[in-house]
Chain A
Amino acid sequence: MSALIEVSGLSKHFGGLQAVKDVSFAIEPGEIVGILGPNGAGKTTLYNLLTGFIPYDSGSVVFKGRDLRGLAPYRIAGLGISRTFQLCRPFVGMTVFENVIVGGLGASGGGGSGLDAHAHALLKQVGLAGKEQLAVETLSYGDQRRLEIARALAAKPALLLLDEPFAGLGSGEIADLSALIRRVHADQGLTVMLIEHKLHEFMRLVGRVIALDFGEIIAEGSPEDIVRHPAVIEAYIGRGDAEAEEQTNAA
């Protein structure tokens, strides 16, 4: 089976900072892949490169056999990559229902009769039924997260990129949302990439983990293997002798 998305040698630097360095991986259709890494590891930059929000310096991204180099974000979205943002970015001044409709307008080329029905179905699926006519500003943070996902799904993507969907949520809300992600994955065979720091839920949700640090892939494997991987432990907790060095310096 050929990969849904194939990334090879992807690099990006901002001035002197190498944000993403020679990153290569492939994702098969139907996978849920987690992107793990400390703050500043380049996870969100990686998303921005994949979705065309930031142009990359070198390397290639091939999605469904098509090279994405130089395509505008809206074109890439139109090809079937939807994303959510780390901070919720709903369309303020509009209702919940209108937000989802806009999510579907780009994909359908500005119309389509099934759009309303699809939007209603999505809102029901994410648990926002009955809140269609509310102004988005009045939604709770958890509901805004659900809306982000409904909005992203409205474009009928083949690949969904979630950027810290659990950030700022309580444990009950996290369990609900993770059940929702599992459900859309199971129902629609949707391929999902997930950035998350809430490791407990993250590890149960994903089938495979790609660990990044300083813009490079430091490890790749099943969640069980990743948490024991020395490079990952080092990235999160720090090297043993570095700590010792600090202590001597302090003394």
Chain B
Amino acid sequence: MFDKRIDYAGALGFIAFMAVLPLVFGGNYLIGVLTVSVIYGIWAVSWDFMSGLTGRENFGHSLFIGVGAYTAGFLNTTFGFGGWWSLPAAMLMAMLFAVVIGLPTLRLKGPYFALAMLSSAVIMQRLMLIFWEQTGGEEGINGIEPLIRSQLGFYYFALASLVLVTALLLALARSHWGLILRAIRGDEATCQAAGINVTFYKIASLVISAAFAGAGGALYAHYQLQVSPQLFAVVTSITIITMVYVGGMASIYGPVGGAILLVLLTELLRNFGEWRLMIYSCTLILILFFLPNGLIAPTWRRVKAKLVRPE
């Protein structure tokens, strides 16, 4: 019980910190960086729910992000819907894509799923260029309306979304559902022998993961006020996977910290000019070399163990 209370206290502390940060330092630049970091947090958590728990690594998470963002863009500009329709519509579209891709590929063993996701994202990026008359090509869609006029207000909305998504996925991950997903990671054949419909659980978890990635994509579209094919880029997926590894795979809450940490680190290193990428990469390599289980979640577990059993 005490254990749980420490978790809640930690979560509250984190939320308070994120909420107060822009009030203390102020400035639209910081608010912008924090907003992006929080949206990356949503992407990282949603990736971790499917891929972290089941061990089926998704190298094309950007597909769902892009689909969500473009759905928001089209609805808001071409079809003239109000901005608030974007979130549910983006989630639905991303879920649809997850079913279409998951159904054939998640039945297969081995790297097929990872490859199928990777290539789907690349194909979508190309399609956005090929059908440039509809999609705006390289330029993408411009003139998307903001959801909330105030930058700070939008940041708080994004933060609240992140908290909600994380809480929801954490609850799912700690239920029997999560147990089954972790068992799938352990051994699919044994799961089947235990009467578990492995394909259903894999597809359902991909659909859930896609829904929140799509919602994050819509948020991003309404933050940038434009979308471009770059959203589908493989590098986005790789960045998200890195964030999950740094945060601590399969912990759900860890990737939130990983995402915020890495986005902030990228910004902090801007002063180093050309050295930026070098320092960033070396930091990553060091973290993953010395902490193969990640930084955030294992550290939190250690802190908690200290608090529960003080020496």
A interface list, Cβ under 8 A from B: 51, 53, 72-75, 77-78, 82-83, 85, 89-94, 98-99, 101-107, 110-111, 151-152, 154-155
Contact = CB atoms under 8 A, between A and B. Distances in A.
Contact of A90 (B190, B197, B198): B190
Contacts of B190: 85, 89-91, 151
Given A89-B187, A90-B187, A73 B192 contact: yes
Contacts of B187: 89-92
Given A91-B183, A91-B187, A94-B186, A110 B176 contact: yes
Contact of A78 (B180, B183, B195): B195
Interface in B7-37: none
Contacts of B185: 91, 93
17 contacts: A53-B192, A72-B192, A74-B194, A85-B190, A91-B186, A91-B190, A91-B191, A92-B186, A92-B187, A94-B186, A98-B182, A102-B196, A105-B176, A105-B194, A105-B196, A151-B190, A151-B194
Given A91-B185, A106-B195, A107-B195, 9 more contacts: A72-B197, A74-B198, A91-B182, A91-B191, A99-B183, A105-B176, A106-B194, A111-B176, A154-B194
B242 to A, nearest CB: 21
B286 interface: no
Nearest to B250: A93
A155 B194 contact: yes
A74 B186 contact: no
Nearest to B184: A91
Contacts of B196: 74, 102, 105-106
A137 to B, nearest CB: 10
Given A94-B183, A102-B179, A105-B179, A53 B189 contact: yes
Contacts of B194: 74, 77, 82, 102-107, 151-152, 154-155
B168 interface: no
A78 B195 CA distance: 5
Nearest to B196: A106
A90 B186 contact: yes
B1 interface: no
Given A91-B187, A93-B186, A94-B186, A74 B192 contact: yes
B268 interface: no
Contacts of B282: none
A123 to B, nearest CB: 16
A74 B189 contact: no
B196 to A, nearest CB: 4
Interface string B166-209: 00000000001101101101110111111111100000000000
A51 B191 CA distance: 13
B302 to A, nearest CB: 17
Contact of B197 (A74, A102, A151): A74
Nearest to A112: B176
A107 B197 CA distance: 11
A83 B179 CA distance: 20
Nearest to A148: B190
Contacts of A75: 195
In the complex, the 4 A-B pairs of residues with the closest C-beta atoms, listed nearest first: A106-B195, A91-B186, A77-B195, A73-B192
A51 B194 CA distance: 11
A99 B197 CA distance: 16
A73 B195 CA distance: 7
Contacts of A82: 193-194
Given A78-B195, A101-B176, A155-B194, A94 B189 contact: no
B176 A77 contact: no
A72 B185 CA distance: 20
Query: Considering residues A72, A92, A106, A152, which has the most beta carbons from chain B within 10 angstroms of its beta carbon?
Result: A106
A103 B189 CA distance: 12
A106 B191 CA distance: 8
Contacts of A77: 192-195
A106 B198 CA distance: 10
B254 to A, nearest CB: 15
Contacts of B193: 51, 73, 77, 82-83, 85, 152
Contact of A101 (B179, B195, B197): B179
- Choose among B185, B187, B189, B190 the residue with the greatest number of A CB atoms under 10 Å from its CB: B190
Contacts of B176: 101, 105, 110-111
